[in-house]
Amino acid sequence: MTATLITGICELSTCDPSQGDGSPLGIVRDAAVVVAGERVVWVGEALAAPATDDCIDLGGKAVVPGFVDSHTHLVFAGDRAAEFDARMGGEPYTGGGISTTVAATRAASREELRAHTRSLVAEMRTLGTTTVEIKSGYGLTVADEARILEVAREFTDETTFLGAHVVPAEYADDRAAYVDLVCGEMLRACAPRAHWIDVFCDTGAFDEAETRRVLSAGVAMGLGVRLHGNQLEHGPGVRLAVEFSAASVDHCTHLTDDDVAALAASDVVATLLPGSDFSTRAPYANGRRLLDAGVTVAIATDCNPGSSYVTSMPLCIALAVRETGLTPAEALYAATRGGAKALRRDDVGHLAVGAYADFAVLDAPSHLHLAYRPGSALVAQSWRRGTRT
């Protein structure tokens, strides 16, 4: 197998504290990485690098692990720019606009959904994202949810069944029948195409008893648990996530001290979605409070056409630093290793021997620039599975 030395790295953030300076980012200065096939086979100071077949000299750029975007809703049709415009004009976000996307998604062909998803994934790749989770949730019929997951599967193994996104209009008068459908025929059709199950457990979506039923049914079908919780108001989301040993509970804006303590005592990752708070002009989650309590924090985009039409992890890093109280180092870790933990993955989100060779080359001398220069196109190269994409 051909080994390629990538050198000329002025600052390498490995996100592996056993390497480099011993900080959580495991920073190695004047570094090099050797890639063979899809994996990293050597990491260290460039002067100590082994001989290889090929060599690429980056000429003094910072390198960070590829971003792990652990929360997106990428398979959809249409946009909701008019809803965004109204919201910026003063109307509150309620989640009710999801039905607009459901109608457009049901009406779209599979090829239209595939092409749109492909364009969003490509856009993410140019911004340094190398692992992406994709949820269903804009079909809300057995056939449409299964179709969305089939499209999502073409782009990632990290697919999530979110039939319990909202109750569709045709079930407005019989919520229980919709929950029955989600837990029964829809789950049976979707489970073979999904790795995870998720519920939008919040005001206007699904309550505690409904969430409990859906998660239990998903677990019985062998799916891992993740949850939307505590976004719009305080609710049972975090408590249920801990009870179900979820990989992650996402949003986490409205938390009590008991919620924070429960998270800290668990393996549940708290995933912050600052692009959503930004795009809905909502209060930001308090990332500082979570980290200080010992909670593992991730950052993701929540890319969706309603509340966060954001594909950029660098923007989310900058927002997490500016608005949720994280340091630039904490935000980078949350966007890489934190995202990997939120997906229970140990092969992505860091750069160490054996990990996938997924990384972003920054047109900057340091990872600090991700938060320091919001909005700038800093990702010069994106590498995934050992190949520049």
Contact by Cβ (8 Å): 32, 361:
no
Token duo for residue 355: 């990990």
Q: CB-wise, 302 or 330, nearer to Zn ion?
A: 302
Please name the residue that has the structure tokens 């870790």.
333
Least separation in angstroms between residue 165's CB and Zn ion is: 8
C-alpha span between 227 and 43 (Å, rounded): 36
Q: CB-wise, 226 or 345, nearer to Zn ion?
A: 226
Q: Which of 301, 285, 306 is nearest to 238 (CA)?
A: 285
Least separation in angstroms between residue 342's CB and Zn ion is: 13
Q: CB-wise, 158 or 302, nearer to Zn ion?
A: 302
Per the DSSP assignment, residues forming a β-bridge with 381 are 361
36-69: string of b/e by CB count within 10 Å (b at 16+)? beebbbbbbebeebeebeeebebeebbbbbbbbb
Least separation in angstroms between residue 250's CB and Zn ion is: 6
C-alpha span between 349 and 336 (Å, rounded): 4
Q: CB-wise, 138 or 359, nearer to Zn ion?
A: 138
C-alpha span between 53 and 2 (Å, rounded): 6
Q: Report the C-alpha dihedral over residues 209, 215, 219, 220, rounded to 10 degrees.
A: 50
Concatenate the DSSP letters of all residues of 49-76 into one string. PPP-SEEEEEEEEEEEEPEEE--B----
Least separation in angstroms between residue 74's CB and Zn ion is: 11
Q: CB-wise, 276 or 381, nearer to Zn ion?
A: 276
Q: CB-wise, 188 or 281, nearer to Zn ion?
A: 281
Least separation in angstroms between residue 280's CB and Zn ion is: 12
Least separation in angstroms between residue 91's CB and Zn ion is: 20
Q: CB-wise, 25 or 152, nearer to Zn ion?
A: 152
Q: Which of 37, 39, 19, 38 is nearest to 29 (CA)?
A: 19
Residue closest to Zn ion, measured at CB: 302
Total residue length of the chain? 389
Per the DSSP assignment, residues forming a β-bridge with 298 are 271
- Residues in contact with Zn ion, shown as a per-residue x/- string from 277 to 316 under the rule CB under 5 A: -------------------------x--------------
C-alpha span between 389 and 386 (Å, rounded): 9
Q: CB-wise, 302 or 358, nearer to Zn ion?
A: 302
380: enclosing H helix or E strand: strand 379-384
Q: CB-wise, 69 or 302, nearer to Zn ion?
A: 302
Q: CB-wise, 155 or 356, nearer to Zn ion?
A: 155
| 3-state DSSP helix/strand/coil % of the chain, to nearest 5 | 35, 25, 40
Q: What CA–CA distances, in Å, run from 34 to 51, 125, 281, 306, 358?
A: 10, 21, 44, 41, 12
- Residues in contact with Zn ion, shown as a per-residue x/- string from 220 to 239 under the rule CB under 5 A: --------------------
> Given CA atoms 307, 71, 27, 64 in this order, what sign does their dihedral have?
negative
Least separation in angstroms between residue 244's CB and Zn ion is: 18
Least separation in angstroms between residue 329's CB and Zn ion is: 26
For binding to Zn ion (CB under 5 A), which residues are involved?
Answer: 302
